[in-house]
Structure 1
Amino acid sequence: MNKLFISLLPLLLLITSTPVKAAQDIAELEKLASTSDKLASIAKECKTSEDTSSSSCREFIKEFNKGNVNMQIKLFSKNLKQNFSLDKDLALKTLTSIGVISEALTFVFEEKTKEVKGRT
């Protein structure tokens, strides 16, 4: 009986740890979605303002310079397949947020390029 228990112990540990891992993964996806949504909100305001010196654009640029924008994109794309298998709707929401962030990045880079060209 003891030998059977000892031999089944690794299997038991594996089975009981799997739901916890899934819960952590979904929690990480929810956190990623929430953070991406906040950044997307700032990004949308920035793009709507059409002014890189607006408070929303300054905040967006600040988040970019701190590496937060890049981190969100990397974290989401790194686990893309897993994110969609965990929660398709949440993954799509995050993907939409990253799209908004990307559009704002394009806007900011284009405007900053115009500013640099105008000075030369």
Structure 2
Amino acid sequence: MTQGNAFDPECPTRQVLDRIGDRWTVLIVLSLRDGARRFTELRKAVNGVTPKVLTQTLRAMERDGLLTRRVFAEVPPRVEYELTPLGMSLQGPIQAITDWAEKNMSEVMAAREAALQT
């Protein structure tokens, strides 16, 4: 196994960090933690994402092995997205960061406000 170097711009680790550090990826992982969801359910859960950006993010996550897309032969076709085991392994780190953000939100907002005052 090759050791990665996130500080090297040519290292694939950077691409992985870009994917998992994307705000939409984070919210999609959190939205799928309880199981598969349809596109419209994801769009409602990930409030504020456009259909185009959601589609792009879902395709990138599928390409990277983080989720699966399952099409059901129905009229109209039903499509569900679900985390793969690799995608599920992101839940712990993402939840830890989410918990940190929620715990420290007031301090961060106060710091922003103070910076605007100077």
TM-score normalised over the length of structure 2:
0.31
TM-score normalised over the length of structure 1:
0.30
Higher relative contact order (CA 8 A, sep 6+): 1
